[in-house]
Structure 1
Amino acid sequence: MKRMYAVLFAALLVAGMVPTAAAVDTSASSMVLMDAASGRVLCQSNAHERRPIASITKLMTALVALESGHDLEEEVTIDPAWTGVEGSSLYLRAGETISLKALLYGLLLRSGNDAAIAVAGYCAGSVEAFVGRMNEKAAQLGMKNSHFANPNGLDEEGHYSTAYDMALLGQACLQQEQLREMMATKSITFDQRVMTNHNKLLWRYDGCIGMKTGYTEKSGRTLVSAAERDGLTLVCVTLNDPNDWADHAALFDFGFETYRAERPLEAGQPVGYLPAVNSLVPVCPIVAQYDAVLCVGAGEQVSQELTLTKEVLEAPVPVGTEVGEVVIRVDGVECARVSLVTGQQMPDNLAPHQGFLGWWFQTLAG
C-alpha cells in the first residue's frame, strides 16, 4: 500500500534547521543526504550543481514505465532499433520476446542500456515520446535543475541533473512499491538471463534497500542509495565520486547516529472532540488524516498547534469531513501540516430509519 505522509516544507532548510554542509567529508563533486519521509536535507555539498548522471537516469525510466499503465507480464517483441546499444547491455536480439518485468529488472539490476531503450519504445511508442514523459515527471517532482535527453543515461548534450534533484527522485521511487521491491533485489533470473544487482551496498551495508549505480567517463561514478533503520529512511546521492561505497556508508552512519524518526501524529489518531447538534451522538472524535513522520536531531524540540475551522458540528456529517489542521514545528520552524477530519459519521437524529439502535448497529458494522 502506498504510504501517505504529511506535506513538509522547504522551511526545514532555513532558520535553525540548515542542512549540515561539512558533516562528512566525501570524494564526491556533489552529494546530498536526505530524509525520505520529510525531504529534510541532513548533509549536502554542491547539491544543486548540474552534472551528468549516467545510469542513475534509469530510476526515472523505471518510475515512468511503472506509471504508464502497462501490465508487467506483457510480452515485448524487441524492435531492431532497440538493440546494439553501447555500454552495459542485456544483449537483446531483434525479434525475441521478453516480459516488461524482465526488461525493468534488466535496466535496474544489470543496468542494461538496451533494456532502457526497449522499455521506453514499448511504453510510449517511441523513445522520444518517453523522454518527454520523463521530463514531465521531473517537473512534477520539483526537479528544477534536471533535464533528460535519453532513458539510459549515456552522455548526451542536455542530459543532466543534480544531487538534490536525484534525491527527490529517490523519494518518489521509494513510494512506488513495485519499484521499491525491484531496487532491493540482489539477483533474479529470467529465461536463463541472470541479473545481479550492481549495488554492492545491498551486501555491505546493514539496512540498505537498494537504488541505482551509474558510470560514464564524463560523469564519473554516480550512485543513489537508500537505507532504513528504526523507522528512519535515508536517501543518499553522490555524483562523480570515486569512493562512493565508503562515502555512502559514512553518510548513512552520520544520519542514523545523529537523527531519529519521530511520528507525532498517525492517521486516524484522535486529537480531540467536537460537540455535535441534531445528532444522536453528542460529540465527534477529530482525527489526523495522514501520518506525520519527522526526522528530528538530538536536542530538537517538536511542538504542535491545532486549528479548527468549526466549533460545533451540525449533523448529518460524513466521516472524513475536514474540520481543521495541525501545524507541527521543530525548534519553532514549521515543517508539517496535517489535515484534521471527523473520525466517524454523525447521523441526523431526524433521518428515517436512523433510530439509536440503527445507528449503533451501523457503527458496529463499520
Structure 2
Amino acid sequence: MDDQYTPIISEEERQARRAQRAAQRQKKLRERRRRQMRQLIPAGALALVVVVLLSAWGLHQGSDLPAEEEVSPEAEPAMSQMSYEAPPEEPAPYTAEATASTVTLGDEIDSSYAVVIDGDAGTILAEKAADTRINPASMTKVLTLLVAAEHITNLDDTFTMTIDITDYCYVNDCSVVGLEIGEIVPIRELLYGTILPSGADAALALATYVAGSHEAFVELMNEKLEELGLSDTAHFTNCVGLYDENHYCTVYDMALILHAAMENELCREVLNARTYETAPTPEHPDGQVLSNWFLRRIEDRFTGEFQIVGGKTGYVVQAGSCAASCGEAPDGSLYFCVTGDASSSWQAIYDHTALYQTYCEQPENE
C-alpha cells in the first residue's frame, strides 16, 4: 500500500459528520414515535389526557406543599441538594420491536434464519432465529458501501489498482469485478463494483482509498456498528465478507444496516441499480457491464406496484446462501428482509418472494 497516503477528510470533519448523522437519526426517531402515538391515540384525546394529567399534577402539588413564603430557610439547602437524575438515553435510532402480531417462522421457508421488518413502524413482522449470530458473507458489503459513501467527497476521483488487492482476492478466492493491476478506476465505479457483482477488488479499493488500508477501514466499519447501536451483537474483521469466527452479526443486525444504507441517497442509488456500465480503460477497452443478479431475478416475481428497491446476496460455506433486500410498497413504506443459510441462491430468492408477498404487499397488489 502507499505509505504516503493521506485520508481525504480530517478527523475533525469525520467527527462533525458523525454528530450530524446522529442528530438526523434522533430527529427521525422522534418523528416515528410521534407517528406511532398518533396511531394509538387520536390527537384530540391525547391533548385532553395531557391537560388532565397536568391539572391533576398541579392540584397535587398545591395541596401537598406550603405556600412559597412558608418554606423555612432550613429547608432551602436540602431542596437545593436534591439529586438530579438524567433522563435515560434514547434507544438506537434503527430498531425494530417484536409485537403480539410477530410471526415465528418455521419450515415454510428454506432459510434457517430470517427477519422481516416494517421500517416505518419499527416492528418485526416475522422472524426465524433472528438473534442468532451468523457469518454475513458478502452482505458485509452493504456496510462497506455505507461507510465508504459517508466518507467520500469526490465521486469523480480515481484509484489505481494495486497488486496487494489483486493478490488478496486471488488467495482468498473472492468474487471480483476483474480490475487489473495499474488500472485507474473512478471511485463511483468502485461503489457499483462492490455491490452489483460483489467485487472484493472494488471493496478493497474503496477501503484503501477512504482509510489508507483495509485494517483502518474495518475500524471505521466497527465504529459505524457502534454508532448504529449494534456493536453488542455484530463485529466485522474484513470488508468483503470472508469467513472469520470474529466476523459476525445477526439477520436482525443486517436488516438495520440495510435500513441505514437505504436512507443514504448514494447507497440507495447503488443498491437499487440493476446494471451499470463502466467507462472504457486500456485494460477494458469496451468497459464492463456490471449486474445485480439478485435484483434482476426477483423483480419479475412482483407484478403489482410493490417493488424491490435494493438488495445484496452473500455466500460462504459456513453461512449458506444469504440475502438482504428492501421492498417498497405503493405508499412509500419500506420493508426489510434478511435471510441466511438457504440451500441455494435461488432458494433465497424464493424465500424473500414468499416473505414479502405474505407480510408486506398491499391488498391491491396481491
Matched residue, 1:194: 289
Amino acid at match of 1:117: L
Once the two structures are TM-superposed, the CA of residue 7 in structure 1 deviates from its matched residue by 4.5
1: CA distance between counterparts of 2:102 and 2:215?
A: 37
Task: Give 2:308's match in structure 1, choosing from 208, 230, 233.
Answer: 208
Provide structure 1 residue ranges, at least 5 long, that are not aligned to the other structure. Answer: 261-366
Match of 2:250 among 153, 159, 162: 162
Which structure shows the higher helix fraction?
2
Give the structure with the higher percent strand: 1
Q: Hey, what does 2:146 align to over in structure 1?
A: 63
Q: TM-score, normalised by structure 1?
A: 0.66
State how far apart, in whole Å, the 2-side matches of 1:257 and 1:114 are: 37
* Alpha-carbon distance in structure 1 between the residues aligned to 2:176 and 2:222: 24
1:238-253 correspondence to structure 2 within 5 Å: 238-242=339-343, 243-253=347-357
SS of the equivalent of 1:240 reads: strand
CA deviation string 1:336-364 (max 9, x = no partner): xxxxxxxxxxxxxxxxxxxxxxxxxxxxx
Against the structure 1 CA distance between its residues 24 and 113, is the aligned structure 2 distance closer, same or farther, given a 3 Å change threshold? Answer: same
* Alpha-carbon offset, residue 178 of structure 1: 1.0
| Structure 1 counterpart of 2:181, from 94, 115, 118 | 94
Match of 1:127 in 2: 214
Number of residue pairs matched?
A: 258
Please tell me whether the aligned partners of residues 39 and 168 of structure 1 are also in contact (alpha carbons under 8 angstroms). Answer: no
Separation in 2, partners of 1:140, 1:237: 21
The RMSD of aligned alpha carbons is: 2.4
> Residue 23 and residue 228 in structure 1: after superposition, are their counterparts in 2 closer, same or farther (change >3 A)?
farther
Runs (5+) with no aligned partner, structure 2: 1-23, 34-90, 280-286
Aligned twin of 1:318: none
Distance 1:201 1:56 in 2: 17
CA contact (8 A) 1:63 1:173 kept: yes
Match for residue 225 of structure 1? 325
C-alpha separation between the residues in 2 aligned to 1:92 and 1:182?
A: 19
Whole-angstrom CA distance in 1 between matches of 2:153 and 2:244: 28
Q: Percent identity?
A: 34
Deviation digits for residues 246-284 of structure 1, max 9, x if unmatched? 110111012225899xxxxxxxxxxxxxxxxxxxxxxxx
Q: Deviations over 1:272-311 (max 9, x none)?
A: xxxxxxxxxxxxxxxxxxxxxxxxxxxxxxxxxxxxxxxx
Q: Which residue of 2 aligns with 1:19?
A: 102
Cα distance change, pair 153–259 in 1 and its aligned pair in 2 (3 A)? farther
Q: Name the CA distance, whole Å, in 2 between partners of 1:97 and 1:164.
A: 37
Aligned partner letter, 1:139? E
CA distance, structure 2, for counterparts of residue 126 and residue 133 of structure 1:
11
- 2:245 match: secondary structure: coil
Instruction: Tell me the SS of whatever aligns to 2:254.
Output: helix
Alpha-carbon contact 1:202-1:210 (below 8 Å) kept: no
